[in-house]
Amino acid sequence: MAAACVNNNNDALIVIVITLFLIITLPSSSMAGSNFNQQVDITWGDGRGKILNSGKILTLSLDRASGSGFQSKNEYLYGKIDMQIKLVPGNSAGTVTAYYLRSDGISWDEIDFEFLGNLSGDPYVVHTNVYTQGKGGKEQQFYLWFDPTANLHTYSILWNPAHIVFYIDGRPIREFKNLEGVGVSYPKNQPMKLYSSIWNADDWATRGGLVKTDWSQAPFTASFKNLKANGCVWSNGVSSCNLSSSNSSNNNNSWLSQQLDSNGQRKLKWVQKNYMIYNYCSDINRFPQGLPLECTLRTT
């Protein structure tokens, strides 16, 4: 009996030690990915934004009086952000649900997903853009190959020193490379927070503003789940990542050097061939003096 008790105590001690080791060594960015109460603050909307189910679900709503929004508690200088979103169902014309990274100030950096609502049965438009030092104008737009209102889908932003990649359900839809070496600005100096919001934009969002919001369908509600922020947290001028390290995988930061392999490039080309509906790099009427430099290099 005494020997059995000793063995049981040793087993329990081993379990405790292993558990403590995992808690200490598992990166905080991975552990903090499932509770909105810990990850974000609802910043506007007067109660139209709600965190539910012990932090597992967040909803944002829009009515005639106001929309709503939230922002992350942390800010990041590079990161891989994943979040599941279920967009506004039915007649969502005139509404915009946004999911983006943005820095502070008048010369801000920004990486945008915006989902432009439409009439029932018509497809959502996924609008993407990249801003550097307050200058954007790098829009690409897509239709989706599924109904984004029927179920949750994962929308991801990869931002590392080499490139920015927009993903949907793990499939890349857009890549914006760091081409500073040839004179193209790239967001790399300003830490950004994650934001999401829903608001009325019926002056432009649906068919250029021709279709207005039908307020009889309000409230318009989008749902969010499983926010995962693997990022270099920026606090008091210091990054949580060792950006000078040549081996970022040691700290579960393999995304810092993540590239698109040949399979990823094939998936990217498939989306752009079949579902892209606007590309600023093809809009010669918009740029009569010549396309932006990155467009001439065929890299976006």
What would the pLDDT profile of 206-224 be if each residue is shown by its tens digit?
888 888 999 999 999 999 9
Q: Which alpha helices (H) appear in 26-126, and where do they start and end?
A: 28-31, 36-39
**Residue 34 CA to its chain's centroid (Å):** 15
Question: Which one is catalytic: 75, 110, 175, 294?
Answer: 110
Q: Kindly report the backbone phi and psi dihedral angles of residue 84, in degrees, each rounded to the nearest multiple of 5, phi listed first.
A: -90, 135
pLDDT score recorded for residue 299: 56
Report pLDDT for 61.
98
pLDDT, the chain, mean: 88
> Which residues are paired to 126 by β-bridges?
115, 142
8 A C-beta contact, residue 80 and residue 156: yes
- Which CATH architecture describes the domain 39-235+256-295? Sandwich (2.60)
What value does the mean pLDDT take over residues 2-9?
44
Q: Is beta strand 153-159 parallel, antiparallel or unpaired with respect to 163-168? A: antiparallel
What integer is the mean pLDDT of 40-62? 98
pLDDT at 43: 98
The residue-averaged pLDDT of 48-55 equals: 97
Q: Helix or strand or coil: residue 182?
A: helix
pLDDT the model gives residue 114: 97
Q: Mean pLDDT across the stretch 106-134?
A: 95
Task: Report yes or no on whether pTM surpasses 0.75.
Answer: yes
Cβ–Cβ < 8 Å for 101, 195: yes
Told to judge if 175 belongs to the known catalytic residues of this protein, a careful annotator would answer no
The predicted structure's pLDDT at residue 243: 74
Among 114, 139, 175, 180, the active-site one is 114
Average pLDDT rounded to a whole number, residues 244-254:
62
pLDDT at 249 over 90: no
